[in-house]
Amino acid sequence: MVTFLLFAVTALAEILGCWLVWSWLRNGGSAWLLLPATVSLAVFAWLLTLHPTATGRVYAAYGGVYVSLAIFWLWWVDGVRPTRWDLFGAALCLAGMAVIMFAPRNA
């Protein structure tokens, strides 16, 4: 559960940082949005270093959580209700994350 929560916080930091840049560019937002965007993306990069396994495995598994939280963001922030296919895809990504992170290993 701790691993999943760390992935979730990492994904939120990345999504927020990217969204702030997107909002600045696409919505004509203030350039001041780049300051919290930079902080958020730096926090995202730092959080990735806290995961307790090999980098490639972390990035691969993190992708599943990122996709799922991006679908939640679509609903919560963008106001677009996810389709059943969005939810099914997110569930598949989470299942893939679980296989990658929690499979038995010899070393």
Please tell me the distance from the alpha carbon of residue 19 to that of residue 9, in angstroms, as a whole number. 15
Q: Give residue 29's pLDDT.
A: 86
More confidently predicted of 84 and 63: 84
pLDDT of residue 56: 79
pLDDT in tens, 18-77: 999 999 999 888 999 999 999 999 999 999 888 777 677 888 888 888 999 999 999 999
> How high is the pLDDT of residue 107?
60
pLDDT at 48: 85
Give the contacts of 19 (CB within 8 A, at least 6 positions apart): 73, 77
Tokens, residue 94: 């989470």
What is the H or E stretch that residue 48 is in? helix 34-48
Q: How many other β-carbons are positioned within 10 Å of the β-carbon of residue 70? A: 17
The domain spans of the chain are: 2-102
pLDDT at 81: 96
How long a stretch of residues is the chain? 107
How confident is the model at residue 9, as a pLDDT? Answer: 93
pLDDT value at 82 more than 70: yes
Distance CA 5, CA 10 (A): 8
> For the residues 5-30, what does the mean pLDDT come to?
92
Write out the DSSP string of 5-65: HHHHHHHHHHHHHHHHHHHHHHS---GGGHHHHHHHHHHHHHHHTTSSS-HHHHHHHHHHH
Q: How far is CA 72 from the centre of its chain?
A: 10
